[in-house]
Amino acid sequence: MKPFKGSVNDFLIHCSNLDSDQIEKELEYEQAITQLCAEHACSREEAIDMLESAKTFMVQQILDKLVNEGLVKQEFGPNGEALYVCTEAGHNYVAAVNSSEVKDEKPKKRKKRTKQ
């Protein structure tokens, strides 16, 4: 977050317009940095590097899973950088999710009708 500069009234208006989710994320991020510094006896910069490495690792795991499932394919750019492209199966999956055809729940078993 950027430091605020202005009058007290401007500050109060500014505070009323802040996104509470963004504030929570910022506080969690700062707590993670503080915890890493304490646990590893490292500087703030080193802790930030650790967090960024962890984020990169998590994103790579997700991309690898998408590639393995055939939803995304990996290509390489002219400078050798990895590029990820959505496959036809990936487009179909996204379309299905957007139209609510794909559900995370298992289908419910139908109860057998009994004659009355």
51 in Cβ contact with 36 (< 8 Å) = yes
Query: Cα 93 from chain centroid?
Result: 19
pLDDT one-digit tens code per residue, 30-77: 999 999 999 999 999 999 999 999 999 999 999 999 999 999 999 999
pLDDT of residue 20: 84
Task: Please state the pTM of the whole predicted model.
Answer: 0.58
Higher per-residue confidence, 1 vs 28: 28
Cα dihedral 38, 44, 45, 51 sign: positive
27 in Cβ contact with 19 (< 8 Å) = no
pLDDT one-digit tens code per residue, 81-103: 989 999 999 999 888 888 865 55
To the nearest whole number, what is the mean pLDDT of the chain? 84
pLDDT of residue 69: 94
Angle between helices 20-40 and 44-68 (to 10 degrees): 110
| Per-residue pLDDT at 28 exceeds 70 | yes
pLDDT of residue 75: 92
pLDDT of residue 111: 53
Domain residues of the chain, as ranges? 20-57, 69-103
